């Protein structure tokens, strides 16, 4: 129970002070520290990342979602081909998907050209890849449960009974 | 010209929070901890049902008692949450917020001179509603040493042969106090003995942080003596939708319905459709908001401890009620200086009854970030006062 409570909180704000989190959850500091350590060791907590809206920076970047259809090799399933893809550092995520295609790959590059050449040179040429379809992201409205638009200010009356 | 006004209305004091409102709303960088409503938006699926009902053109009156579907869901909800059921056709009516229910319950039950016991500190409307209904308010001053719960002795002491009604406002605004089962059992005996009726305002029932909320209607013999008031404002963050409900025996509800019928006609239709969705699929939202409030509550209590500010631990609503007697200032002066010098708006305890003197109501219907910023200013202010 404490574990889930910790996860729900740090999923929203991984920088929360451990003591403050313990107070908020009505637990001792040590309990929270130990639970987090355990969950790191067990691979439940996989990292503490920062959500960035790169669009608001001067960094040029393009994100694409690529649908990949593959053939399978006997006894290897999708794991082998997924690994061939996810080892590239420019690949941000790889999911095995049910339905019309097999793998959904998120790719980040500096330009459309860079992404295109990754797809044509590296991805499509992989032995087990049958076809790819590349979709460029034009605008992110919501990511990781966070709405990108600026929050509207508190519109409540300042004092109410 | 003749005086256009009634003596009764002239005798009612305006709410004491007005002047703080005026000052605070002028300031640009004010942090308010003075709000009595949730900071969450109404969950989207509930809003969506409201929008859908408009798209479908459901813009007509409903029956006076409210949509049958909503009354059925209210009964399901009460059965599920407190194990007490009401006949949707005869014992449940949908009102314009909990406040309408309080008003019409008093008007339906009081004759001139009937005494109404009102424990304070409590919400600002009980006393004026009682006066407007021709009743005589008799205030019971609750004490911090009892965690602002109502004790059987306090109740017994206030009863006369004119006493008819007891208002039971728990979980409480402004103190955050709750009544546990044993507390309720103790006063139920007194209620029974003196043949009193009860208006139980349980609008904060979902915001209880020490086990599930206990309603007085759960105790033997109490359901028939009680008008249960609840609503959607606090549990589902739906204050602006103006929707509540009242449950009572048919004898009482039938008369309340007359007033509602002539004064209001029916509660807003859009809100009623949204509320059906809230009751059907909103339990998870309520649980999430309750968890968030509870985290803030614990955070505030810890910060008060660090500051050395005395405060009993409240287990309900979204208010804490710290004691400021050590500073030798009245609640009003403290709150006035606090807003002027540190730009933090809180509500003096006296806005909720004279016995709130020496206390402040601090709302935690704010993000942790806002609370942190406000408490930093508070720490600075307390240091200044302590010299």
The reported pTM is 0.93
Give the pLDDT of chain A (161 residues) as one tens digit per residue. Answer: 899 999 999 999 999 999 999 999 999 999 999 999 999 999 999 999 998 888 889 988 999 999 999 998 777 789 999 999 999 999 999 999 999 999 999 999 999 999 999 999 999 999 899 999 999 999 999 988 888 888 888 899 999 99
* ipTM value for the complex: 0.87
Whether residue B340 has pLDDT greater than 80? yes
Q: Are B118 and B2 in contact (CB under 8 A)?
A: no
Q: Are B349 and B174 in contact (CB under 8 A)?
A: yes
Q: Are residues A31 and A107 in the same domain?
A: no
Q: Are residues A17 and A77 in the same domain?
A: no
Domain count within chain B:
2
Q: Is the peptide bond before B22 cis (omega within 30 degrees of 0)?
A: no
How far, in Å, CA of B109 to CA of B270, rounded? 30
Q: Are residues B87 and B187 in the same domain?
A: yes
8 Å CB contact of B36 and A154: no
Q: Are residues B296 and B169 in the same domain?
A: no
State which of B281, B296, B330 marks the end of a domain. Answer: B281
Q: Which residues 135-154 of A are in CB contact (within 8 Å) with B?
A: 154
8 Å CB contact of B345 and A26: no
How far, in Å, CA of B229 to CA of B44, rounded? 25
Q: What are phi and psi of A140, to 5 degrees?
A: -100, 120
- Whether residue A158 lies inside any domain: the answer is no
Q: Are residues B311 and B266 in the same domain?
A: no
User: How far is the alpha carbon of B296 from chain A, nearest alpha carbon, in Å?
Assistant: 6
- Whether residue B377 lies inside any domain: the answer is yes
Quote the strand ranges of chain A, DSSP E: 62-70, 91-96, 103-109, 129-136, 142-143, 146-147
pLDDT in tens, B104-142: 999 999 999 999 999 999 999 999 999 999 999 999 999
How far, in Å, CA of B209 to CA of B230, rounded? 18
Q: Are residues B35 and B78 in the same domain?
A: no
8 Å CB contact of A157 and B21: yes
Q: Are residues B256 and B341 in the same domain?
A: no
Q: Are residues B66 and B203 in the same domain?
A: yes
Q: Which residues 17-46 of A are in CB contact (within 8 Å) with B?
A: 20, 23-26
At residue B101, the pLDDT reads 98
8 Å CB contact of A160 and B32: no
How far, in Å, CA of B81 to CA of B302, rounded? 31
- Measured between beta carbons, the chain B residues lying within 8 angstroms of A20 are 299
- Whether residue B51 lies inside any domain: the answer is no
- Whether residue A149 lies inside any domain: the answer is no
Q: Are residues B21 and B136 in the same domain?
A: no
Closest CA to B226 of B253, B208, B206: B253
State which of B230, B263, B281 marks the end of a domain. Answer: B281
Task: Tell me the pLDDT band of B16, cut-offs 50, 70 and 90.
Answer: confident
Q: For testing the chain A interface, which of B38, B295, B313, B372 should be mutated: the one with the most A CBs within 10 Å?
A: B295
Nearest to A158 among B173, B302, B345 (CB): B345
C-alpha angle with apex B159: B155 to B163, nearest 5 degrees? Answer: 120
Q: Are residues A31 and A73 in the same domain?
A: no
Quote the strand ranges of B232-341, DSSP E: 244-247, 319-320
Query: What percentage of chain B exceeds 70 in pLDDT?
Result: 100
User: How far is the alpha carbon of B366 from chain A, nearest alpha carbon, in Å?
Assistant: 10
Average confidence (pLDDT) over B361-365: 98
CATH code for the domain of B245: 3.40.640.10
| DSSP 8-state assignment for residue B23 | H
> What is the domain extent for residue B155?
58-281
8 Å CB contact of A23 and B298: yes
CATH code for the domain of A63: 3.30.70.920
Closest CA to B304 of B16, B33, B20: B33
Q: Which chain B residue has its CA at the smallest distance from A155's CA? A: B39
Q: Which chain A residue has its CA at the smallest distance from B240's CA? A: A156
At residue B220, the pLDDT reads 97
- Whether residue A112 lies inside any domain: the answer is yes
- Whether residue A14 lies inside any domain: the answer is yes
Q: Is A125 near chain B, with CB under 8 Å?
A: no
User: How far is the alpha carbon of A67 from chain B, nearest alpha carbon, in Å?
Assistant: 31
Q: Which chain B residue has its CA at the smallest distance from A151's CA? A: B41
CATH code for the domain of A33: 1.10.10
Domain count within chain A:
2
CATH code for the domain of B33: 3.90.1150.10
How far, in Å, CA of B230 to CA of B84, rounded? 14
8 Å CB contact of A159 and B39: no
Closest CA to B102 of B84, B82, B124: B124
Q: Are residues A37 and A59 in the same domain?
A: no
pLDDT in tens, B212-251: 999 999 999 999 999 999 999 999 999 999 999 999 999 9
How far, in Å, CA of B126 to CA of B14, rounded? 13
State which of B249, B281, B313 marks the end of a domain. Answer: B281
Query: What percentage of chain B exceeds 90 in pLDDT?
Result: 96
SS3 at position A4: helix
> For the CA atoms of chain A, what is the radius of gyration?
21
Q: Are residues A86 and A131 in the same domain?
A: yes
Q: Are residues A37 and A76 in the same domain?
A: no
The mean-pLDDT minimum among A119-128, B19-28, B164-173, B206-215 falls in B19-28
pLDDT in tens, B346-355: 999 999 999 9
- Whether residue A146 lies inside any domain: the answer is no
Q: Are residues B189 and B306 in the same domain?
A: no
Q: Are residues A135 and A59 in the same domain?
A: yes
How far, in Å, CA of B246 to CA of B199, rounded? 10
Name the token pair of A129: 């890849």
Q: Are residues B80 and B126 in the same domain?
A: yes
How far, in Å, CA of B182 to CA of B73, rounded? 29
Q: Which residue has the tokens 């959904």?
A: A104
> What is the domain extent for residue A12?
2-41
């Amino acid at each position: 129970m404490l574990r889930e409570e910790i996860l729900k909180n740090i999923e929203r704000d991984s920088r929360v002070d451990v003591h403050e989190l313990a107070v908020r959850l009505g637990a001792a500091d040590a309990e929270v520290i130990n639970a987090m350590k355990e969950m790191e060791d067990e691979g439940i907590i996989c990292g503490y990342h920062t959500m960035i809206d790169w669009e608001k920076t001067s960094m040029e970047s393009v994100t694409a979602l690529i649908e990949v259809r593959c053939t399978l090799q006997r006894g290897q399933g999708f794991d082998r081909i997924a690994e061939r893809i996810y080892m590239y550092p420019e690949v941000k995520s790889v999911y095995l998907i049910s339905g019309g295609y097999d793998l959904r790959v998120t790719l980040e590059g500096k330009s459309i050209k860079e992404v295109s050449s990754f797809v044509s040179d590296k991805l499509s040429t992989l032995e087990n890849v049958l076809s790819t379809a590349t979709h460029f992201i034009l605008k992110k409205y919501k990511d990781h449960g966070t709405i990108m638009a600026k929050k509207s200010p508190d519109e409540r009356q300042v004092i109410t009974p | 010209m003749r005086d256009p006004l009634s003596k009764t209305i002239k005798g009612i004091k305006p709410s004491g929070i007005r002047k703080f409102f005026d000052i605070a709303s002028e300031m640009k960088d004010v942090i308010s901890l003075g709000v009595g409503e949730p900071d969450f938006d109404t969950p989207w699926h509930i809003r969506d049902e409201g929008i859908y009902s408009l798209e479908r053109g459901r813009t007509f009156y409903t029956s006076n008692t409210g949509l049958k579907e909503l009354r059925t869901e209210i009964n399901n909800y009460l059965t599920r949450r407190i194990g007490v059921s009401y006949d949707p056709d005869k014992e449940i009516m949908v009102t314009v917020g909990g406040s309408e229910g309080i008003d019409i319950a008093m008007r339906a039950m009081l004759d001139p001179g009937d005494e109404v016991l009102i424990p304070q500190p409590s919400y600002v409307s009980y006393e004026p509603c009682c006066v407007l209904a021709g009743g005589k308010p008799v205030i019971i001053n609750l004490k911090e040493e009892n965690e602002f719960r109502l004790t059987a002795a306090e109740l017994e002491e206030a009863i006369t042969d004119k006493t008819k009604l007891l208002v039971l406002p728990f979980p409480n605004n402004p103190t955050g106090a709750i009544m546990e089962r044993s507390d309720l059992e103790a006063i139920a005996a007194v209620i029974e003995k003196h043949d009193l009726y009860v208006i139980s305002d349980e609008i904060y029932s979902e915001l209880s942080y020490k086990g599930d909320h206990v309603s007085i209607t759960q105790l033997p013999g109490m359901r028939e003596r009680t008008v249960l008031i609840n609503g959607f404002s606090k549990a589902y963050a739906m204050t602006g939708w103006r929707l509540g409900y009242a449950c009572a025996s048919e004898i009482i509800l039938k008369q309340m319905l007359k007033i509602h019928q002539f004064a209001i006609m029916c509660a807003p239709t859009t809100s009623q459709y949204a509320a059906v969705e809230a009751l059907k699929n909103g339990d998870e939202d309520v649980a999430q908001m309750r968890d968030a409030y509870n985290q803030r509550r614990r955070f505030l209590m810890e910060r008060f401890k660090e500051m050395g500010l005395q405060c009993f631990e409240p287990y309900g609503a979204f208010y804490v009620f710290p004691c400021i007697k050590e500073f030798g200032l009245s609640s009003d002066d403290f709150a006035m200086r606090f807003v002027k010098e540190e730009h933090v708006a809180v509500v003096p305890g006296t806005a909720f009854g004279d016995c709130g003197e020496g206390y402040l109501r601090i709302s935690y219907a704010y993000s942790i970030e806002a609370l942190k910023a406000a408490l930093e200013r508070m720490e600075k202010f307390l240091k200044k006062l302590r010299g």
